[in-house]
Amino acid sequence: MINLRGYQLRILYYLSLQDMTGYSLSKLLINESTGRNISNGTLIPALNKLISMGLIEFEINGRKKVYKITERGREYIENLKSLSLEIKSNVIKNSLSEDAPFLEVLSSRDDFYILKDVVDNHIDIIINIIRIIFRLKKNRIPEDDFIKSINELIDRYKKII
């Protein structure tokens, strides 16, 4: 049984979207307690664990290692997505009741499906953004730095969407 935690799971997810260097991965992965990018001391062991489990591999391209997901890793992610989709669908169904404060935004059945599509395809990014915003607020980051950090985060996610 494969049991991935925190960064390992996120690395595998990002590599399911595209092949990446360690540097590119480190720019996407945020240490939740500091709000900063993770260090190589955190990244390298996570990558090595994924390699030893057969979930990712790498190729040398010039002076860079380019990591990519293996078929086994892709199957793992697809299984998680299926399970996640079932959970998210249930959450959406339970949330979209007449008591939902945003229901007035959903003016048609099409709006419901648009919202469902956004949640289905971007929930991981949305949750990560919320998590980072929470950490920034909790650490009382000055508003200008806070806005700058959020904009940088959004720019990073635009590159992988």
Contact 105/98 with Cβ under 8 angstroms?
A: no
Query: 11: domain range?
Result: 6-160
Q: Please name the residues in contact with 95: beta carbons below 8 A apart, sequence gap of 6 or more.
A: none
* Overall pTM surpassing 0.85 (yes/no): no
CATH code of 50's domain: 1.10.10.10
Reported confidence tier of residue 49, pLDDT bands at 50, 70, 90 = very high
The model's pLDDT over 69-107, given as tens digits with 9 standing for 90+, comes to: 999 999 988 888 777 666 666 655 555 444 444 544 555
The model's pLDDT over 128-152, given as tens digits with 9 standing for 90+, comes to: 777 777 777 777 777 777 778 778 8
User: Chain-wide mean pLDDT for the chain?
Assistant: 79
Query: Is the residue at 1 inside a domain?
Result: no
Q: How far is 18 from 7, CA to CA, in rounded Å?
A: 16
Query: Is the residue at 136 inside a domain?
Result: yes
Reported confidence tier of residue 110, pLDDT bands at 50, 70, 90 = low
Q: How many domains does the chain have?
A: 1
